[in-house]
Amino acid sequence: MKIDVPQAVARQYATEDNLEARRSLYENADGPDPRALAFDAVAEVTPARVLEVGGGPGELAARIATELGCEVVMVDISPRMVELARERGVDARVGDAQSLPFGDGTFQCVVAAWVLFHLPDIDAGLAELARVLRPGGRLVTVTNAEHHMAELRAVAGAAKWGHTFSRENGAELIGRHFERVERRDADGWVIIDDHELVRGFVASLDADEPQDPGPYDLPIRTRRASSIFVATKAGRQVSD
């Protein structure tokens, strides 16, 4: 999958099928849940206004709004993802993370989970996320390590994750735009014992280039390695 080419990203998320194929892999996973750690990072600052960029079907945005009782807006480039999020009651809008339709300092917290590696220009995207944050505001991002799901990716002929925004370079990239950056890792293992899960994963990597997985034996035990980056915008937080 050409993950930072806009046309490929639009194709990949035109429906929820590819996303759900990858999500289904984690049914037999152990270790901390990176989604829960991302939620906790938002809850720590008790924000009044939160923006989620690239929120997909809107589960996290809906949870933040319900459990933290704050105003949440979600932006996603996919009309289908926006439709699904709205069905959950989320204020979701079609939009581009590199050109957000909000004024400076609108939000106290911005969330970007597994989305920054889709941007053609990560620096432009991070600058935009910083712009809409208040001084002292928090950015919560989630991404994966280079060795994330390496054993499963080897079956698809792509053992190295190789994305443009990863555990290995995330702190340096975010640090260009934010004052402080903290990394919180969520590592564990996944056991895959279903051929359909393997085939679904391989097919989800690029909708235009379906392929059969190479030879493999079940079960596949594969490492999962995600990181939550928690960053603070320079300046002092001003309350309402």
Q: Work out whether strand 220-232 and strand 180-192 pair parallel, antiparallel, or are unpaired.
A: antiparallel
pLDDT at 210 over 70: no
Please give the pLDDT value at position 204: 76
Using pLDDT thresholds of 50, 70 and 90, give the confidence band for residue 231: very high
3-state helix, strand, coil in the chain (%, to 5): 35, 25, 40
Look at the domain 6-145+162-187+226-232 and name its fold: Rossmann fold (3.40.50)
Q: What is the 3-state secondary structure (H, E, C) of 87-137?
A: HCCCEEEECECCECCCCCCCEEEEEEECCHHHCCCHHHHHHHHHHHEEEEE
Q: What is the pLDDT of residue 41?
A: 98
Characterize 14-50 residue by residue with b for buried, 16 or more Cβ atoms within 10 angstroms of its Cβ, and e for exposed. eebebbebeeebeeeeeeeebbebbbebbeebebebb
DSSP-derived pairing of the beta strands 91-94 and 71-76: parallel
Domain spans, the chain:
6-145+162-187+226-232
Of the listed ranges 70-79, 118-127, 137-146, 197-206, the one predicted with least confidence = 197-206
Distance (Å, whole) CA 185 – CA 227: 4
38 with 142: CB under 8 angstroms? yes
pTM of the complete model: 0.90
Mean pLDDT value of segment 32-48: 97
pLDDT in tens, 156-201: 776 556 679 999 999 999 999 999 999 999 999 999 999 988 888 8
pLDDT for 14: 60
72, pLDDT greater than 70: yes
Between 240 and 153, the more confident residue is 153
Number of H helices, E strands in the chain: 9, 7
Sign of CA dihedral 24, 27, 32, 36: positive
> Model confidence at 28, in pLDDT bands (50, 70, 90)?
confident
pLDDT digits (tens, 9 = 90+) for 79-133: 999 999 999 999 999 999 999 999 999 999 999 999 999 999 999 999 999 999 9
pLDDT at 64 over 80: yes
